[in-house]
Structure 1
Amino acid sequence: MTWKTEWKKWSTHKELPSELKKQMTNMTETEREDAFYKQLEFGTGGMRGELGAGPNRMNIYTVRKVTAGLAAHIEENGTEAKKQGVVIAYDSRYGSAEFALEAAKTLGAYGIKSYLFQELRPTPELSFAVRYLRAYAGIMITASHNPSEYNGYKVYGEDGAQLPLTAADIIVNHMNKIENELLLEIKDERELLSQNLVSYIGENLDQVYLDYVKGLQLNNNVSNMNLHIVYTPLHGTGQTLVPQALQNAGFQHITIVEEQKNPDPSFSTVASPNPKEAQAFQLAIQYGKERGVDLLLATDPDADRLGVAVKNHSGKYVLLTAPSLCIATACSQLGS
């Protein structure tokens, strides 16, 4: 099927949201071809792509399609797998909350229960929630540390880990059987609630997770270290749990980078929300120098990637998680 055939199918779909219709109208010929010549690839790391109309973009229809593939995979594993259900979380990106709900609506059409976080939460908590709730799978709506025009969809197995290649291939095979993602059935949210096919989760699970994280601590005497920390969530999910987890561990001197504290899908204070890049630490460095802080921490939008910077013997902050650990390079990148 050529990209022009796909374009026509989408452009004539009567229920296409107005925002997607507008995007299609404003596309150049080159943009149309790129958006419609294939479907987004799905693998062990899930899928991610630019937001917009077309099968090669992240939108409600590509989300429904991959969710339908996952649902078919769950169905193959029997009634008990369907009852176990799927945990769904999302980050601060454009469309994340909507895509999470679309995934629940699609699963509901297959009679599969969803545990949907009420608000944005980090990927590590999603992984924990899958195991704690004994769910069959987990979905995380995120594009990790990619730029703001991207979003994505990660799938986790019942062990809380990302899918192995065999499971990812099975989902792809089911996706390839779907002739028209625009016509996939979904359930209304109110119907899902009335049929107990969706349950909203949040603060109660947060506390269980934080207690679990506290139990992993090896050194219970950190409160005597008098360590001063600057932390930035880079406009992502980390603010929901990371400061509390640090305090639970005994770190009492924590300063949050205020400009990067709240969720912001445009990631307006950084070129890229990647905590393993020096530019993401610029505001944290300012805070650190002003306060004489020992340690700088940063997490990416879904808080599964950590960046760490400490002072070297010259008093310059060194990014430990840089691609290269050459102190001279890191120091020149980060500044004094």
Structure 2
Amino acid sequence: MIWRERFQEWLSNPWLDPGTREELNAIAAQEDEIKNRFGQMLSFGTGGLRGPVGAGTNRINRYMIRKVTQGLADWLLAETAAPFSVCVGFDARTDSPGFAAETAAVLAANGIHAHLFEAACPTPELAYAVRRMRAAAGVMITASHNPPGDNGYKVYGPDGVQILPVAAHQIGRHISETPFFWRRSFPALHEALQQGLLTYLTQEMDQEYLAVVGDALAGYAAAVPAEARQSFPICLTALHGVGGYYLKNLLQILGFEPSVVDEQIEPNGAFPTLRVPNPENEAAFAFAIDQCRYGHRRGCGGGHRSRTR
């Protein structure tokens, strides 16, 4: 039984961290759980990979992040002329900052410069940063609208667009050739910084991104008379994603005054007001619909709704 062998391989590995070892020991007598966690490997494709956070080969964890990043690094080193860099962003999910740090550390271990976002950012900003920094690739740690217990890993090309099938297949081959435990430790971020293999993308990048998007939309906004913009009914919910304040500021720059769903504007990886943070599910908009229907906030008298993740 391959899943039992994989489980024992992980549990007996001296490089396994104490927290993961404790998690695996807790399921040692649960055959179905072991099979679910180790019966297969998370697959990598054009959308990267997503899955529940936890110990196992069928889960997102630090070892999976390291394995995937090493596969990406091997592909870049084989296909890209040095020197080059990679931008790394992350969302507000609980484990995302740590997974982003693991990504940057593996890149540094391969001599690849990482531009790591200092704080959570929207996925489109990561795509912008890839082009702005002329990076060879971008990595976004996010599970998009998956359940709160999930996370994911998306890869973007130098054009800021998600990789195409050919690249995904090539990266996947490198990932499959990389073991889970091939290295005991990786450079700490402060060490990578000292070695010139890490820079942080700060609020300056956030402001630059907003300005660029604002300029791109200014012509469209100008089609709406200034007085009408002030009263134009827009209800904004971020569904606890990281884009709420970005969109609020952007709309205000363009002369609109959105009515914000305060209960969902703060980034929160636990998504406390939502069963599933999926904008394709009407139930996710219950707060926004009520706000528009009953006019709990100024400007929600109409049917225009906006959401951002």
The verdict on a shared fold, with TM-score over 0.5 as the criterion, is yes
Residue 201 of structure 1, CA deviation? 0.7
1:213-228 equivalence runs, <5 A? 213-217=213-217, 218-219=219-220, 220-222=222-224, 223-225=226-228, 226-228=231-233
Residue 4 of structure 1, CA deviation? 1.6
Instruction: Report the equivalent of 2:32.
Output: 30
Within 2, Cα distance between the matches of 1:179 and 1:124?
32
Q: Once the two structures are aligned, what percentage of the paired residues are identical?
A: 38
Residue 180 of structure 1, CA deviation? 3.6
1:1-336 equivalence runs, <5 A? 2-27=2-27, 28-80=30-82, 83-181=83-181, 183=183, 186-217=186-217, 218-219=219-220, 220-222=222-224, 223-225=226-228, 226-251=231-256, 253-291=257-295, 292-294=300-302, 295-299=304-308, 303=309
Within 1, Cα distance between the matches of 2:96 and 2:301?
34
For structure 1, which runs of at least 5 residues remain unmatched after alignment?
A: 304-336
Residue 37 of structure 1, CA deviation? 2.1
Deviation by residue 1:139-173 (Cα, 9 ceiling, x = unmatched): 00011101011100000000000001111111111
* Matched residue type, 1:141: I
* Matched residue type, 1:56: N
Q: Indicate conservation of the 8 Å contact 2:235/2:260, yes or no.
A: yes
Residue 6 of structure 1, CA deviation? 1.1
Deviation by residue 1:50-99 (Cα, 9 ceiling, x = unmatched): 1100111000000001100110011113442xx33111111111210000
* Matched residue type, 1:39: M
Residues 4 and 52 (structure 1), Cα distance of their counterparts in 2 relative to 1, 3 Å cut: same
Give secondary structure in 2 for the equivalent of 1:152: strand
Give secondary structure in 2 for the equivalent of 1:241: helix
Within 2, Cα distance between the matches of 1:255 and 1:16?
48
Within 1, Cα distance between the matches of 2:182 and 2:294?
54
Residue 181 of structure 1, CA deviation? 3.4
Residue 38 of structure 1, CA deviation? 2.3
Within 2, Cα distance between the matches of 1:224 and 1:166?
50
Q: Indicate conservation of the 8 Å contact 1:230/1:293, yes or no.
A: no
Q: Indicate conservation of the 8 Å contact 1:106/1:185, yes or no.
A: no
Residues 235 and 132 (structure 1), Cα distance of their counterparts in 2 relative to 1, 3 Å cut: same
Within 2, Cα distance between the matches of 1:268 and 1:15?
35
Residue 185 of structure 1, CA deviation? 5.1
Within 1, Cα distance between the matches of 2:41 and 2:50?
11
Residue 221 of structure 1, CA deviation? 4.1
Within 1, Cα distance between the matches of 2:204 and 2:261?
27
Give secondary structure in 2 for the equivalent of 1:131: helix
Instruction: Report the equivalent of 1:317.
Output: none
Give secondary structure in 1 for the equivalent of 2:258: strand
TM-score where L is the length of structure 2: 0.91
Within 2, Cα distance between the matches of 1:186 and 1:168?
25
* Matched residue type, 2:254: A
Give secondary structure in 1 for the equivalent of 2:125: helix
TM-score where L is the length of structure 1: 0.84
What's the Cα RMSD here?
A: 1.6
Structure 1 stretches of at least 4 aligned residues deviating more than 6 Å after TM superposition: none
Deviation by residue 1:190-217 (Cα, 9 ceiling, x = unmatched): 2101011111112111121112112222
Within 1, Cα distance between the matches of 2:275 and 2:23?
24
Within 2, Cα distance between the matches of 1:121 and 1:35?
30
Residue 18 of structure 1, CA deviation? 2.9
Residues 188 and 22 (structure 1), Cα distance of their counterparts in 2 relative to 1, 3 Å cut: same
* Matched residue type, 1:153: Y
Within 1, Cα distance between the matches of 2:198 and 2:188?
11
